[in-house]
Copies of this chain bind each other. A is one copy, B any other.
Amino acid sequence: MKNLVLGIDVGGTNIKLGIVDDNGRILSRSSIPTKSYNRNRNDLIKAIFAEVRRLLGEAKIAFSKLKGIGIGLPGQIDPDKGQVIFLPNIPGWENVSLCKIFEKEFNVPTLIENDVNMITLGEWRFGSGKGKNDLLCMTLGTGVGGGLILDGQLYRGARFVAGEIGHIPLNEQGPACSCGGYGCLERYVGNRVLLKKIVQIFGDKELTIPAVNKLAQQGNKKALKFFEETATHLGNGLVGVVNLLNPPLIIIGGGVSHNHKFLFPTIRKVIQARAMKVQKEILKIIHAKLGDDAGILGARVLISENLRKRK
């Protein structure tokens, strides 16, 4: 019986692979670095092919057991055509028919999806979003990303780039953002911006966000204020989404979300102070559950629900 899915989560640093059963259990997993293959797309694809074969061999799973392969990639994806349109942080990926390339190699149906959408699918079916018909899943890292489940399905938008919550403007005037705009949420709470702010506040270039978290746990006022200000920006950015989409649930994950004990109470407070009555009454904000596995588990969801049939 073909009841297994191979999930591949392509990130800027690592490529994670996992074989997932129909209960969302990861039977076997591995990881290879992205950077060494960065300069050549074909080398990267070949390295993934080799790792797929190695992983399945090691786990003693035949390709004939695979219902499908689901691949998440950090960029603009056309899931209908099975095409990678553009990856901003991995050179050489423009208009690549990745599904065909995989299907030719392994003869297993292959679907691709944006990486944050993949995480969203995983959290929706196997994580913090179980049973919900609508939710926003937000990832806090170097980038601030988002995925939307609306009326019981992944919402991709007209050109498959919906969910860019990191690029909701917080102010009419604001600092320039890498997206070409200005005043975007990401320019206030993205990892790099937070690290710069830590240097400004503490005068210590070596201090990490986990270190500031430790300081906050010890009651350090500067550290507590740092998280409060970060959470206030996050809350201010989410108010618009809450009023516009009336979601019952916001799931927040990604590296920076590990500070949820210091962030979430203020995020909730800001939303209670600013959002509309009905919208805020039903809203829950919770931490993502699946951590680094979300993308691989999302591949399971993508294949199982075959959310879009490729043309």
Listed in ascending order, the chain A residues whose CB lies under 8 Å from chain B are: 76, 133-134, 146, 148, 150-151, 153, 155-165, 167-172, 179-183, 232-233, 236, 239-241, 243-248, 273-279, 281-282
Contacts and interface: CB of A to CB of B under 8 A. Distances in A.
A236 B183 CA distance: 10
Contact of A240 (B168, B276, B277): B168
A163 to B, nearest CB: 7
B274 A236 contact: no
Contact of A276 (B160, B164, B243, B273): B164
Contacts of A233: 172
A170 B146 CA distance: 20
A247 B164 contact: no
The copy count of this chain in the complex is 2
Contact of A244 (B134, B162, B279): B162
Contact of A279 (B159, B239, B279): B159
Nearest to A132: B158
B236 A169 contact: yes
Nearest to A273: B181
A236 B172 contact: yes
A179 B276 contact: yes
A311 to B, nearest CB: 15
A278 B159 contact: yes
Contacts of A232: 172
A110 B244 CA distance: 27
Nearest to A154: B151
A248 B151 CA distance: 19
Given A161-B278, A165-B244, 6 more contacts: A159-B281, A164-B276, A168-B240, A169-B240, A170-B171, A240-B240
